[in-house]
Structure 1
Amino acid sequence: MTDRQLRVHTFTEAGGRGGPGLPRAVVILLGLAAATVTVAGMRATAWLLTPVLLALVIVIAVAPVQRALRRRGFPAWSATLVLLVLVYGLIIGFGLVVFVSLGKLVTLLPQYAGRFDELVARATDALARAGVGIEQVRDVARSLDLAKLAPYLGSVLSGLTGVLSDLIFVLALLFFLSAEAGGFGDRMTALTRERPATGAALIGFATRTRRYLVVTTVFGFIVAVLDTTALAIIGVPLAVLWGLLSFVTNYIPNVGFLLGLIPPALLALLDGGWRPMVAVIGVYCLFNLVIQSLIQPYYVGDSVGLSATVTFLALVFWSWVLGPLGAILAIPVTLLVRSVLLDMDPRTRWLAGLLHLSVDDAGRPRRSGNGRHLFR
C-alpha cells in the first residue's frame, strides 16, 4: 500500500469510527450549510443562471441536427448557421404569436364583463342558499372583478418588452454554445480518458436530457394540434394561444395539465356558458391526460431515472429558485444536479437507490436507449 493510499485509508477509518476525523454529524451539518449557501446564491443569480441553463438545454436538444448536417458533408460553419436559423426562427415566431394573442386577449376580456358579473351573482346566490355566510359571500363577490384582469394582462403584455433583453441574451448564448458544440467531442474524449466517471456522468446527463426533451416535444406538439383543433371546433376564442399554452405546459411535470386547462375552460364559460366549458374539460381530459399520463411515460421509460415524488419536489424547488422558467427546466436541471452530485462519485450510488433513481444491478446509474450523445 502506497503512502497516499495509507493516508486515505487511515482518514476514512478514523472518520468512520469517530476518531481524529470530523464526526459524521459535523460533516452533515457542513454539507447542509454549504447547500444552503449554494441555493441562496443560485436564487440571487437566477437572472443569469436561468438563461444559461435554458440555452444549454436547447443546444443539447438540437445538437443531433448539427451532427446530421456534418455527416452529410456540410462544413462546420454552415451546419452551425442552419442550426441557429432554425432555433432563432422557432423562438422568434413563438414569441410573436404569444405577443399578438395576448394583445387580442386584453381587448377581448372587457366584452365579457357583464357575463362575468352574472356568473358571480349566480354563484353567490348558490353559496348563500347552501348556508355559507352572506357577508363572506359578498366580500368574495366584490373581490371578483373581471375588469381588474385587463390592467393586469396589459402590464404582462408591456412586461414582455422587458423580456426582450433576456431573449437577446439567450440568443447570444445559443450562438456561442452552438459554435463550440462541434469541439465538445474531442474535449469529452480527453475528459473520459482522464476521469471516466465524470465523462460517463456528463454523457448520461446529455442522453437523458435529450431523450426527455425529444419525447416531451413530440407529444406536446401532438397535444397542441389536437387541443387547437378541438377548441376551434367548440368555438373558444384564441384557440392558437391556448394550443401553444398546452404545448409549453407539457414540459411542466405533474401540474402542467391543469395550468393549460384553466384559461381556455374559463374563457369558454364566459363566451358560451357551461356546455362549452364542459366540452373543453372533456377534450383536455381525453387528449392531454391520456397522452401525457399514459402514452408519453411509456416512451420515456426509465431514461430520465427520476421517481414521481422526486419529480414533483424538483418542480416546486426549481420554480422557487429559478422563477417561472424553473418549472419548465425542473427535469433537465435535476438531471444535471444528479450527474454532478451522484453519478460522478461512486460513493454516492447508495443515495440514488434511496431516492428511487434509475440504477442498474451494480449500483451504477442506468442509461437507456441507443441514441448518440451530445458530446460524441
Structure 2
Amino acid sequence: STFSSVIVITIAACLIIAGFVGLTALSLNSVVADLPQYQQDFNARLADVSTMLAPLGVSDLVSTPPSLDFGDVLSFGVSSATVAGDMLMFLFFVGVLSFFMLLEVPAITDRLENRFGRASDTMQSFSRMIGYVIDFIVVRTETNFIHGVLFGGFLGLIGVHGAIMWGTLTFILGYIPFFGLIIAAVPAIFLAWLQFGVPGALAVIFVVCVLNLLVENPVYSYLAARKFEMPALIVIFSVIFWGWLLGLVGMLLSVPFTLMILLSFQLSDELRWINVTLGVNHLFEDTSGKSKEPE
C-alpha cells in the first residue's frame, strides 16, 4: 500500500541520514582531538614560508605573523556545529512535513483532477512542471553525492584528517550554485597544507578542479533528462536573496525556491511574460519542445 511504501522509504532515509551524521561526528571528533598538532604544524609551515621568502627580502612579513590560536578555531567550530544542529532540526521538520505530504499526494491529485479534469491543459502543465522541479532536486542530490564520495574518498586515500566530514560538507554545500563547492574545498585544502605542505594543498586543488570538470559537466548532464540551464545572473541573485532571507538554508534551497516561483509565473497567463523576459520559459517546455503560449 501507499502508506507502507512511504513508511519504508522514510525509515530508510532516516537510517541513511543517521549513519552519515554518526560518521561525520566521529570524523569531527578526530579533527578536534588533533588541534594541538595542527597548531604545531601551522607554526612550522609559517617558518617554511619565511625561509622561502628570505632571499626576496620579504621574510619580515611572516617572521612575526599574528598568531592563530586553534582554540579560537575550536570555538568557531562549536558555534558552527550549533548552527548545523539547528539546520538538522529544521531538516527534520521538513522531513516530517514531506512524510505527511507524500501520504496526501494521491488525495491531492484526485482533487486537482476533479477540479480541472484529468486531461486539461492546466493539469498537464502543472504535473509536468512539478516533475521538472523534482527532477532537478533528484539530479542535484545524485551529483552532490557522487562529488562528495569521490572528494572524501580521495582525501581519505592521501591521509587528510576528517575526510568523511569534508566529503559530507561537499555534499551539503554543493546545493549552493557556483560558490558551494569552492567553500567546501577551502578547509580541506588548508588542512592538506598543514599536514603535507604546499604539495598536499596543490594535490587537493588539482582534484577539486578535476572533479568540478568531470562531475559538474558530463556526469551532471548524463544524470539530467535535460540541462537545467538558468541564466547565471538569476542564479546568483537567487543565492543572495534567499540567503539574506533564510540564511544558510535559503542558500542551499535557493534554486528550488526560485524554480517554484518561476513555475507559478509560467502557469499564470498574466505573469508568464516575466519568464519570457528572464529567458527561462524554455525550462518549462514540454517534451515536444512546445511551450504553452499565452491566450
TM-score of the pair, normalised by structure 2: 0.82
Q: Structure 1: how far apart are the matches of 2:271 and 2:57?
A: 57
CA offset at residue 99 of structure 1?
2.8
Structure 1 residue 94 corresponds to structure 2 residue 20: yes
Q: Structure 2: how far apart are the matches of 1:133 and 1:117?
A: 14
Structure 1 residue 355 corresponds to structure 2 residue 281: no
Answer yes or no: is the 8 Å Cα contact 1:102–1:157 preserved in 2: no
Q: Which runs of 5+ in 2 are unaligned?
A: 290-295
Q: Structure 2: how far apart are the matches of 1:291 and 1:312?
A: 21
Structure 1 residue aligned with 2:29: 103
Structure 1 residue 225 corresponds to structure 2 residue 149: yes
Secondary structure in 2 matching 1:359:
helix
Q: Which runs of 5+ in 1 are unaligned?
A: 1-74, 371-376
Counting only pairs closer than 5 Å after superposition, residues 192-207 of structure 1 correspond to structure 2 as: 192-193=116-117, 199-200=123-124, 202-207=126-131
Q: Structure 1: how far apart are the matches of 2:126 and 2:192?
A: 46
TM-score of the pair, normalised by structure 1: 0.66
Q: 1:242-271: CA deviations, max 9, x gaps?
A: 222222222221112202211111111111
CA offset at residue 167 of structure 1?
4.8
Structure 2 residue aligned with 1:257: 181
| Cα distance change, pair 261–338 in 1 and its aligned pair in 2 (3 A) | same
CA offset at residue 354 of structure 1?
1.6
Amino acid at match of 1:356: G
Secondary structure in 1 matching 2:207:
helix
Answer yes or no: is the 8 Å Cα contact 1:303–1:368 preserved in 2: no
| Cα distance change, pair 252–369 in 1 and its aligned pair in 2 (3 A) | farther
Identity %: 28
From 163, 178, 196, the counterpart of 1:239:
163
Secondary structure in 2 matching 1:292:
helix
Structure 1 residue 154 corresponds to structure 2 residue 73: no
Secondary structure in 2 matching 1:251:
coil
Structure 2 residue aligned with 1:67: none
Q: Give the structure, 1 or 2, with the largest relative contact order (CA under 8 Å, sep 6 or more).
A: 1
Answer yes or no: is the 8 Å Cα contact 1:252–1:315 preserved in 2: yes
Answer yes or no: is the 8 Å Cα contact 2:192–2:201 preserved in 1: yes
CA offset at residue 355 of structure 1?
0.8
| Cα distance change, pair 111–126 in 1 and its aligned pair in 2 (3 A) | same
Structure 2 residue aligned with 1:113: 39
Structure 2 residue aligned with 1:344: 267
| Cα distance change, pair 163–337 in 1 and its aligned pair in 2 (3 A) | closer
| Cα distance change, pair 95–198 in 1 and its aligned pair in 2 (3 A) | farther
Q: Structure 1: how far apart are the matches of 2:54 and 2:276?
A: 53
Amino acid at match of 1:245: L
CA offset at residue 164 of structure 1?
6.0
Answer yes or no: is the 8 Å Cα contact 2:87–2:249 preserved in 1: no
| Cα distance change, pair 327–126 in 1 and its aligned pair in 2 (3 A) | farther
| Cα distance change, pair 132–212 in 1 and its aligned pair in 2 (3 A) | farther
Answer yes or no: is the 8 Å Cα contact 2:51–2:59 preserved in 1: no
Answer yes or no: is the 8 Å Cα contact 1:208–1:367 preserved in 2: no
Q: Structure 2: how far apart are the matches of 1:130 and 1:294?
A: 44
Answer yes or no: is the 8 Å Cα contact 1:227–1:243 preserved in 2: yes
Q: Structure 1: how far apart are the matches of 2:126 and 2:65?
A: 54
